[in-house]
Amino acid sequence: MSEQITAAASGTFKIGGDLQVNRLGYGAMQLTGNGVWGEPNNPDEAVRVLRRAVELGVTLIDTADSYGPFISDMLIKKALHPYNDDLVIATKSGLARTGPNVWVPIGRPEYLRQQAELSLRYLGLERIDLFQLHRVDPKVPLEEQIGELALMQKEGKIRHIGLSEVSVEVLKAASEITKIASVQNLYNLAKRDSEPVLEYAEANGIAFIPWFPLATGELAREGSILGEMANRLNVKPAQLALAWLLKRSKVMLPIPGTSSVSHVEENIAASGITLSDEDFNALSKLA
């Protein structure tokens, strides 16, 4: 597939009704070191990945304070600041890091505010376009967590508010407190437990950002439907997985991550794959 295919071919979506992005974005978690901790082995390649993604039309980059912590933010700023006017940098807070592969939900209002201020500093922003609650802290009332984000929104520090890894019930409850512009849940060709959340997002114009979008695993084994279809269409199984997500819903904003320039080019080229209804339905039966 041609490298000239850009993320613009994936179509657009307006987050919160007014923040337009190309639907195929980039997730920055893999820019960090092992265990999503510390500096990457090749910081220069990380900078090249980010710049290449933007060159190829990516207008949505998703990061989090816990990636590094803040390592991905600093790399984003180094690679892309001052930012293009159409570039949206979404971040998340509420899942603290105390070591490699350790994730601890912290939703205390003062902590969320502190992390938002640090994100603004490390990213070099005056306002965060999309600030997502990385995890709901079960020890803190939901209204206190969402309420603090809404307060920062009124103060002009945040433009839109999103959630991550929530049920329909939590999404509804949060929406009663303030407008929720996005939801980021685990969802891919192989694992679709969040189908009800996606359907709610579709019905309410909420962006659905699937994390871990490229989990093909056994589905891509030799002789499988996914593998055979990839061979027939002369594409990679991972590209088919992204094309399936893009066709699945107009509110779907996949954010595949990688630390390799060649892989980011490959992922973005998936924007140019148009699945027939027959192929889409065949893939849909794989989960």
Active site residues: 67
Q: What is the DSSP letter of 157?
A: S
Block residue for tokens 């990945």: 49
Looking up tokens 């969040």 gives 194
Instruction: Report the 10 Å Cβ neighbour count for 81.
Output: 12
Per DSSP, what are the bridge partners of residue 27?
A: 62
Per the document, the length of the chain is 287
Provide CB contacts within 8 A for 206, sequence distance 6+: 171, 180, 181, 182, 183, 200, 251
Whether 163 and 184 have beta carbons less than 8 Å apart is answered as yes
Are 21 and 253 within 8 A, CB to CB? yes
Q: Which two tokens stand for residue 24?
A: 């195929």
* C-alpha 200 chain-centroid distance: 18
CA dist 186 and 195 (Å) reads 10
Question: Do residues 165 and 147 lie in contact, with contact meaning Cβ atoms separated by under 8 Å?
Answer: no
